[in-house]
Amino acid sequence: MSLRPLTRFVVTSEPCVLCRSRQLLSPARYPPQSHPPHLRHDRRNATSYQWRRNYAQQVRGSWKEVRDEIDSKRRKGFYQLMEMQGLISLKMQDAEDVYQAFVTNQSIMDSKDLILWLAETYKVPLRTLTYLAVITHRIPEAVDKTGRAPPSQHKPVGKEMLLGCCEAGDLLATLHILGAVLNSESLEAGRELATSFNEAELSACLKMAGELADKGHPAALVVRGLFLEQEGKVSQARGLYEAAMEPREDLYHSEDGKLEAAKLIIPTVPPWIPLATLLMQSGDASSREQAKKVLERGALEEDDPLAYYHLASFEGKQSADWLTYMTKAAGSGYAEAMYELGIFYQKAGDWRGSNNGLNPSILADTRLAKALNWLQEWRRKGPDDLAVEWFEAAATRGHKPAMAELVKIYETGGNVDKVVELSEELAKTPTSKQELKKWSMLTRNASQRLSSARLEAKMKGKR
């Protein structure tokens, strides 16, 4: 047998696996070879060849250019997503052009004049530019783990665009900014936006709200009244709330026909809520009756979930009207109403007597008994199961008292996995200051007993 094929295999110019893997080793221990791979066994023919290490290429351009490139991709993708969801009437490229025009001219024009110029140049209403500003401010920022790239400019630019729309007289821009201030303790997005404005800028927004209120805009009247109430000018605030109760048009209907776009704006409270609150603070029976009529207007005529929730407080908790109003509020997604319904159905259960699983006291109101007739015919533990469903619905919206009730229920049922899962969620610190004040004790207690719940789940898994 000839050795020629074997010789040809040994002296082939292709590097072996070992040699090819050397470039992946640490250069401190294994410096790059100074000769080409096909001559690696013959140093006499060595040249000044240097290995090319593509895995260690330096970043081209400055870190600012890297940030700009990343932001451009994220911005265009976010604009396109908003367009697909019907939250803005501008095409993605048109929105990008408006953004670039604002950034380019920001240093030579003030925000108000620039917004008016953009509205005229691109033939779009101010409200569309307000939506674009809100969307731009909400673009998620790419995390830079190296800490070398500058921060994204989306939030500063979005804030300046929003301020320009407000100063140009757009109602929704004004409501969004001042709504963020009023909801800074209850909404994370509100706190983030509110803290980006300085005192002079907020004063300009309040001045614009006053001008819009003078023109009779109901939402502007309410916002102005809320700030007056904070200043202790209760009588003036009440007058503005009463003026806002007059019949009104839908303020959130945009010129481009995109009703969905109103979801972008931080909501302002309707006038019947602060007005009813002021009336109830008076304490006398006449004011309380007036407050009820105001809430009936908001609930029965305007179908406002929050009005239904507050209207239920005028009824007994074991009455048909209370159940109707609270169910209306809960069905519209109000978490506190869901929790109240969970408590109601939990107390409605009666496992010691008959009554088809219902507490006899619930059946005292004939209208309520008739309303719950379907529940009696459903199944034995219907009320308890329904309570769990409402607690779970509230818990998915971050309602911690509902989570605490579910923990008790699952502990009784021996479902340790659910206990651990809910306890972990319950132990998380609330995102808003308002929730932190209300639920700090629940969070602390859940944190203390979480380790024992995990241990119990672990021991049960070993059985």
SS (H, E, C) 296-324: HHHHHHCCCHHHHHHHHCCCCCCCHHHHH
Task: Note the pTM of the prediction, 2 decimals.
Answer: 0.74
C-alpha 71: how far from chain center: 21
Q: Of the ranges 236-250, 288-302, 314-328, 369-383, which one carries the lowest mean pLDDT score?
A: 369-383
Give the whole-angstrom CA distance, residue 441 versus residue 439.
5
Neighbours of 214 (CB within 10 A): 11
The identity of residue 316, as a single letter, is G
Predicted confidence (pLDDT) at residue 443 exceeds the cutoff of 70: yes
The three-state (H, E, C) secondary structure of 339-390, written as one string? HHHHHHHHHHECCCCCHHHECHHHHHCHHHHHHCHHHHCCCCCHHHHHHHHH
Quote the pLDDT of residue 367: 73
- 123 and 89 in contact (C-beta within 8 Å)? no
- Helix 154-167, helix 63-84: angle, nearest 10: 60
DSSP label at residue 373: H
Q: Of the ranges 92-106, 220-234, 256-270, 442-456, which one carries the lowest mean pLDDT score?
A: 256-270
Quote the pLDDT of residue 251: 44
Mean pLDDT for the stretch of residues 182-199: 87
SS3 category, 358:
strand
Q: How confident is the model at residue 104 (pLDDT cuts 50, 70, 90)?
A: very high
Quote the pLDDT of residue 165: 96
Q: Which residue has the tokens 């006899």?
A: 360
Q: Where are the domains of the chain?
A: 4-56, 64-269
Contacts of 290 (CB under 8 A, 6+ apart): 279
Q: How confident is the model at residue 363 (pLDDT cuts 50, 70, 90)?
A: low
- 202 and 181 in contact (C-beta within 8 Å)? yes
- Chain mean pLDDT for the chain: 80
How far are the Cα atoms of 175, 210, 219 from residue 178, in angstroms, in the given order?
5, 12, 11
Maximum CA pair distance of the chain?
Answer: 117
Give the whole-angstrom CA distance, residue 194 versus residue 179.
9
Tokens of 226: 């809320």
The identity of residue 389, as a single letter, is E
> pLDDT, tens digit, for every residue of 44-63?
444 444 445 544 445 556 87
